[in-house]
Amino acid sequence: MDNVVSLTRCGSYNDDVMGAVRQCIDNLGGISKFVQPNATVVLKVNAVMKCAPEKCATTNPLVVEAIGKLCKEAGAGRIIIADSAGGPFTEGYMNGIFKACGYIDIAERNGFLINSNFNTFEASLPEGKVSKNFLICDCLREADVIINVTKLKTHSFTGMSNAIKNMFGAIPGLTKVEMHGKYRTLDVFGEFLFDILDYFKDKLVLHLTDGIMGMEGPGPTNGTPRFIGAIIAGSNPVAVDVVGAKLMNYDPSTLPNIMTGVNRGYLDSNLNVTVLGEKIEDLKVCDYQTVVPNNYRPFAHTMPQWMQPIVHRLTTQRPHVNRRKCRGCKKCFEHCPVKAISMIPTKKGKLPKAKFDYNKCIRCYCCQELCPFGLVKVKSGIVYKIMHIGSNKRLKK
């Protein structure tokens, strides 16, 4: 796999997004290198939840529109916008998200299709590292070409979300909850992401990042929009993520998913990437609020039982909700892969509110990602804070 990444500048979503995306792809040899006439192309977007593009949690529709138009110019037969979010993988649920994200409008404007295939398919990958069989969205299997159209942002579990992490959306709806429960630690979860990437390697030809506005702080859905001004493209997801990480002022070698990609042969151990177009230094945001990837390991039960919850609380990060503010919608409760959340009324006869069991919690942060009101925050124990002084601005809170 090559290590070439194209980087172009785009000043805002009111600017010439089409021109920036075109230039980015032209630097790689042009869209015809990736899309053949009459091909069915799936644009695999990041549609993590129902939210407006201004929140910067999802791929901006103008970037999706630009790459879709290029595919049209290359003669693609069908251009389908698809993703699977954290809820049920159904037409009703996903169309609500696509509408809020602005994808239905751009599809109508340009003759693109919105995915209507909600079947699932059991993928077989005999050489898979942690999974040899897993359920995937059938619409991706049916595509001739997949373009991973991602959003550049921080992520409380993996550190960053971009090309590598976005392909977790190939797993249908609630099956993701099951996969988080099965692959609990970040190292094993990362291997699973690369099993997915390996499965699609023949048709997943291009990764295109919307890095015009990123998200900093507690991403992937509760952070703050932050201007970066970049469009990134390449055929190697690890190389694309190395560039994205550097733009957000991460040291890419500290991000477990990137290093798993190195171990899986996607990039050399020096993380060498050939960048075409703009220079990374010219677009890098030096005071970006990054987050430390969550290398949480279930607590070793080697000390007296009474001490364990105390030490555990002091040395780890954990999800936390102000129960007075919790609206009792149960979204976190329904999606927790290890049933660490109960819905319990604060007072008799009152609405049940979310309560976390930190001995069960595996720190996947699905609850933080999916709380529609942004009420689940990440809290750090005092020992954890001391251990990470200077490496995480979020910990100062």
In 3D, which of 307, 357, 279, 365 has the Cα closest to residue 48? 365
Q: How far is the CB of 330 from ligand SF4 (least distance, A)?
A: 5
In 3D, which of 45, 155, 19 has the Cα closest to residue 102? 45
Q: Can you tell me which residue has the tokens 């919307």?
A: 210
Q: How far is the CB of 190 from ligand SF4 (least distance, A)?
A: 16
Q: Can you tell me which residue has the tokens 């957000």?
A: 248
Asked if 371 touches ligand SF4 (CB under 6 A), the answer is yes
Q: How far is the CB of 71 from ligand SF4 (least distance, A)?
A: 36
Site string for ligand SF4, 332-361 (x = CB under 6 A): x---xxx-xx------------x-x----x
123 vs 375 by CB, closer to ligand SF4 = 375
Q: How many chain residues interact with ligand SF4 (CB under 6 A)?
A: 27
In 3D, which of 165, 182, 216, 214 has the Cα closest to residue 392? 216
Q: How far is the CB of 327 from ligand SF4 (least distance, A)?
A: 4
143 vs 367 by CB, closer to ligand SF4 = 367
- Contact set for ligand SF4, span 296-335 (CB under 6 A): 319, 321, 326-332
Q: Is the peptide bond before 220 cis (omega within 30 degrees of 0)?
A: yes
Asked if 227 touches ligand SF4 (CB under 6 A), the answer is no
Question: Out of 364, 384, 394, 395, which residue is the one contacting ligand SF4 (CB under 6 A)?
Answer: 364
Is the separation of the CB atoms in 242 and 7 below 8 Å?
no
- Alpha-carbon gap, residue 48 to 86, rounded angstroms: 7
- Alpha-carbon gap, residue 69 to 319, rounded angstroms: 41
256 vs 328 by CB, closer to ligand SF4 = 328
Q: Helix 256-263 vs helix 186-199: angle between axes, to the nearest 10 degrees?
A: 50
Span interacting with ligand SF4, options 13-21, 143-151, 248-256, 371-379, rule CB under 6 A: 371-379
Per DSSP bridges, beta strands 40-45 and 4-9 are: unpaired
Q: How far is the CB of 318 from ligand SF4 (least distance, A)?
A: 8
CB burial of residue 224 (10 Å; 0-12, 13-18, 19+): middle
Torsion of CA 110, 139, 24, 292, to 10 degrees: 130
In 3D, which of 127, 141, 145, 190 has the Cα closest to residue 170? 141
Q: How far is the CB of 374 from ligand SF4 (least distance, A)?
A: 8
Q: How far is the CB of 40 from ligand SF4 (least distance, A)?
A: 35
Question: Out of 10, 205, 283, 376, which residue is the one contacting ligand SF4 (CB under 6 A)?
Answer: 376
Q: How far is the CB of 180 from ligand SF4 (least distance, A)?
A: 7
Q: What are phi and psi of 240, to 5 degrees?
A: -65, -40
74 vs 367 by CB, closer to ligand SF4 = 367
Asked if 362 touches ligand SF4 (CB under 6 A), the answer is yes
- Contact set for ligand SF4, span 94-133 (CB under 6 A): none
What residues have CB less than 8 Å from 65, skipping those under 6 apart?
A: 17, 18, 106, 109, 110
11 vs 345 by CB, closer to ligand SF4 = 345
Q: Which residues bind ligand SF4 (CB under 6 A)?
A: 319, 321, 326-332, 336-338, 340-341, 354, 356, 361-367, 371, 373, 375-376
